[in-house]
Amino acid sequence: MSGTNRTKPLITGGPAIILVEPQLGENIGMVARAMANFGLSELRLVKPRDGWPSEKARVVAAKADHVIDGVKVFETLGEAVGDLSYLLATTARQRDMLKPVLAPEAAMKSINTRMNSSEKAGILFGRERWGLENDEIALANEIVTFPVNPAFASLNIAQAVLLISHEWLKVTMDAPLEPAFREPETQPASREDLIHLFEHLESALDEAKYFYPPEMREHLMLNIKNIFTHANLRQQEIQTLRGVIASLERRWMRSRRSQDKKSS
């Protein structure tokens, strides 16, 4: 799915992603890559088990060097989130806490609104094995959780960061959602183009004695017209179809010409 274009501007910014006591460098690398894919760039680590920097993280990050180079490491969660005014905590399990629970899309909208008013925001992700402790979640304003298959929920932190980052880019892009590229610019067919196509096809089918019995003509043409009107054809496609019809007609004319030649 690689479609990187290094001539395009690199999107950066967004909320800080904070990993609490991540264990594997590979996971940190996957998180950096997921962030870079969707335009997030600020990664903070609280007590990474295997220390920092991590060569494994850099390799797995697949050239998301701007994220890896910007990583900040902290001894405590308090220090890691000290400068933030809006903090969300991700968790997969229900906690016995009076804290609003948001789906990722609503959460990213909320962050976007606050960052637009110059607030600083961040999202907490827990340890690979057991997530966040209750007293860590207690530091957050709100909880984010993912809609998952309740009987099969096994998101790892890189996947969770990927989903969050994707929602972030969607929310911050202009509404409605813009895909990364669009179909080629083309001219839609005018009704006139369509009518000419129908006339061409009807005359070819007439010659071919398609309309049988004759009283079925109207019904048969209606069916054919409906196929092409709901096809949302482009001008260029109408030309292609007319070429196809002309070609099938020419075969018949060639055949007739050779027949005329022989009879003469």
Residues 35-64 interacting with a second copy (rule: CB under 8 A):
36-39, 62-64
Which stretch, 19-27, 46-54, 79-87, 231-239, contacts a second copy (CB under 8 A)?
A: 231-239
Tokens 């096994």 belong to which residue? 154
Q: Is 252 in the site for a second copy (CB under 8 A)?
A: yes
Residue 261 amino acid letter: K
- Pick the binder of a second copy from 82, 150, 213, 214 (CB under 8 A): 150
Instruction: Pick the stretch among 15-23, 75-83, 112-120, 218-226 that binds a second copy (CB under 8 A).
Output: 218-226
Closest CA to 207 of 249, 251, 255, 256: 249
Interaction between residue 146 and a second copy (CB under 8 A): yes
Element (H, E) at 259: helix 235-263
Is residue 9 a contact point for a second copy (CB under 8 A)? yes
Tell me how far, at minimum, the Cβ of 196 lies from a second copy, in Å.
16
Q: Which stretch binds a second copy (CB under 8 A): 19-27, 48-56, 93-101, 111-119?
A: 93-101
Q: Using the rule CB under 8 A, give the single segment among 16-24, 42-50, 68-76, 182-190 that binds a second copy.
A: 182-190
- Residue 245 binds a second copy, judged by CB under 8 A: yes
Least distance to a second copy, CB of residue 109, Å = 11
In the complex with a second copy, the residue whose CB is nearer, 7 or 116, is 7
Q: What is the CA radius of gyration of the chain?
A: 30
Kindly state the smallest distance separating residue 155's Cβ from a second copy, in Å.
4
Does 15 contact a second copy by CB under 8 A? Answer: no
Q: Which residues does 170 contact at the CB level (< 8 Å), separation at least 6?
A: 105, 108, 177
Contact criterion met (CB below 8 Å) for 34 and 60: no
Q: What does the alpha-carbon distance between residue 12 and residue 97 come to, in Å, rounded to a whole number? A: 33
DSSP letters of 163-231? HHHHHHHHHHSPSSPPPSS-PPP-PBPPHHHHHHHHHHHHHHHHHTT---SGGGHHHHHHHHHHHHHTT
Q: How far is CA 37 from CA 5, 34, 72, 128, 180, in A?
A: 12, 5, 20, 21, 12
Binding status of residue 92 toward a second copy by CB under 8 A: yes
d(CA 204, CA 249): 7
> Is position 203 an interface residue for a second copy (rule: CB under 8 A)?
no
CB of 122 to a second copy, least distance (A): 17
Interacting span for a second copy (CB under 8 A) from 20-28, 52-60, 109-117, 158-166: 158-166
Smallest separation, CB 140 to a second copy (Å): 13
φ, ψ of residue 102 to 5 degrees: the values are -115, 150
Among 93, 118, 135, 175, binds a second copy (CB under 8 A): 93
Residue selected from 71, 80, 111, 201 as contacting a second copy according to rule CB under 8 A:
201
